Chains A and B, each alone.
Chain A
Amino acid sequence: MDHAFVLRTLILKDFKIRYRNMSLGMLWSVLNPLIMMSVLTFVFTVLNPPNVKNISDYPLFFLCGLIPYSFLSVTWGTGTNCIVDNAQLLKRTKMPREAVPIASVLAAGLHLLIQLGLLLGITLVNGHGINVYWLWLPLLWAVAVVFVVGLVLLCSALDVFIRDMRYLVESSVSLLFWFMPIFYSANIIKPSHKVIWELNPLTVLILAQRAVLLEGQAPEMRLFWKMCIVSGITLALGWIVFRKLEQKFYDYL
């Protein structure tokens, strides 16, 4: 079995289906974060609550947080449903089943690249130059994708046996908007609580993006290693659980 071919075909399929029936196509990838950015910038700079006063360049600051979050919310949400949604396919063809959740995450890749292009564009327009630490960004995102793939493998397999999984994920995603430093700075979190927040690889990604793009600094190494460990464990766990439960998919789909 040509696994790369299967994966590529599945990604292409998800991708074509997602974009074929949109007349504005990829414009939506850009429009959405821009609208969010404008609204939040209005709320937090024009209305001006006390704790964001000293954040310079708030729109960019916010975008650094929003893009990882929206990637997580899209991939985790659709990824959790992907096994049940593709039941017909999985019950009728013998294929490497893990290709389905992996493809569903990677199919969001182009959407992500467009948004990252937007982020880097606005960074440059706002007068922050290119620096050598930009090279960190692909690596950081790769680790984040590993984390999300692990998460989606785990949740999509569990969704077969516990069909309310998708609602749990939906609620978690909306909670996470408040529990990730998206519209506020991580400095306002109590140091004793910070340890827990930093367990989220996407939070680490947000902090690292702000360090690299806004402050021209390297990401904090301690956090980077934490991110790698959590992502590695998540992928291993997701993989093991998926392989174990996969045997029973046919009976429960």
Chain B
Amino acid sequence: MGLIRFQNVSKTFARTARRQVLGSHLRNIVSRTKSAEEPFFAVRDMTFSVEPGRSLGLVGSNGAGKSTTLALAAGICQPSAGTIEVTGRAVGLLELGSGFHPELTGVENLYLNAALLGMTEKEAKAAEPRIAEFADIGDYIYEPLRTYSSGMMLRLAFAVAVHSHPDVLIVDEVIGVGDSAFQQKCNERLRQLRQNRVTILCTSHSGDVLRDMCDELLWIDHGQVKRRGTPDEVLAAYLHQH
């Protein structure tokens, strides 16, 4: 089942990463200098775990390392140090409309997304009506995605993600886009998933969303864990600091 365990995880990015042109590679070869610049630590020595069926929210200011933590948990990037253990199928909803193509229709995008989230064709076919019903965007599902509002895109993306039989669901920031009716529907569905022992790791800047969705919060500051506790406790401390 879905278990997330980070053990002394660090993730660094080289500051020279932007100089990806032939000229700078050649210069490096000619002058034989290794770039001596300090790497940038997006996540530094982070240790935490989430038990199956629990829901952990991340808070922290922009650039604190929340998204990198989620990407690490989703297995999209490799840690520079430490070990990460995630059991079961991890499904990430990391950015609104990623993996969607504007020229394809809703249904076409539904299949594309389902494939990318690791569903088999059979699962995708079986889930299609339920996904369409959950997204509840009517005949728009046969229209190209470029005609969608961001709320409609969220509905479709979220509907696919929660119907892909995840063991671990990783959600970045996106829930806030939906209207209140849809947010309620999401919360209900998330509660249902948690009853089925699905583990949830999410971020949000909205205290209400975090209180609704999470058992516990983790406050991240400069890539490090600053505090862990109940939502009320951590939010109070976090907001007090700002």
A residues whose Cβ falls under 8 Å from a Cβ of B = 1-2, 5-6, 8-10, 12-13, 16-17, 20-21, 88-89, 91-95, 160-164, 168, 247, 250-252
Contacts and interface: CB of A to CB of B under 8 A. Distances in A.
Nearest to B42: A251
Contacts of A1: 118
* 10 cross-chain pairs, A with B, having the tightest CB-CB distances, nearest first: A92-B98, A250-B77, A2-B120, A9-B115, A92-B94, A5-B121, A164-B22, A93-B116, A6-B115, A95-B116
A247 B94 contact: no
B76 interface: yes
Contact of A16 (B20, B78, B98, B104): B104
Interface in B7-38: 13-14, 17, 20-22, 25
B99 A2 contact: no
Q: Majority SS of interface residues in chain A?
A: helix
A161 B28 CA distance: 14
A4 to B, nearest CB: 8
Given A1-B118, A161-B20, 6 more contacts: A5-B124, A16-B104, A17-B103, A89-B98, A91-B98, A168-B22
B52 to A, nearest CB: 20
B-side interface size class: 20 to 34
B77 A251 contact: yes
A13 B108 contact: yes
B75 interface: yes
A164 B92 CA distance: 32
Contacts of A20: 103
B92 to A, nearest CB: 7
B29 to A, nearest CB: 12
A185 B36 CA distance: 54
Interface of B: 13-14, 17, 20-22, 25, 71, 74-78, 90, 92, 94-95, 98-99, 101, 103-104, 108, 111-112, 115-121, 124
10 contacts: A1-B118, A2-B115, A5-B121, A5-B124, A9-B111, A17-B101, A20-B103, A89-B116, A164-B21, A252-B20
A5 B115 contact: yes
Contacts of B104: 13, 16-17
Nearest to A7: B115
Given A2-B119, A250-B71, A92 B99 contact: yes
A21 B103 CA distance: 9
Contacts of B71: 91, 250
A156 B45 CA distance: 33
Contacts of A12: 108
A1 B164 CA distance: 12
A160 B20 contact: yes
A5 B14 contact: no
A6 B112 CA distance: 8
B94 A162 contact: no
Contact of A92 (B13, B17, B76, B121): B76
A162 B99 contact: no
Nearest to B105: A16
A163 B116 contact: no
Nearest to A3: B115
Nearest to A18: B103
Nearest to B98: A92
B67 to A, nearest CB: 10
Contacts of A8: 115, 121
B21 A92 contact: no
Contacts of B120: 2, 5
A144 B229 CA distance: 59
A88 B102 CA distance: 13
Contacts of B20: 160-163, 252
B22, B74, B115 interface centre (most CB from chain A within 10 Å): B115
Contacts of A17: 101, 103-104
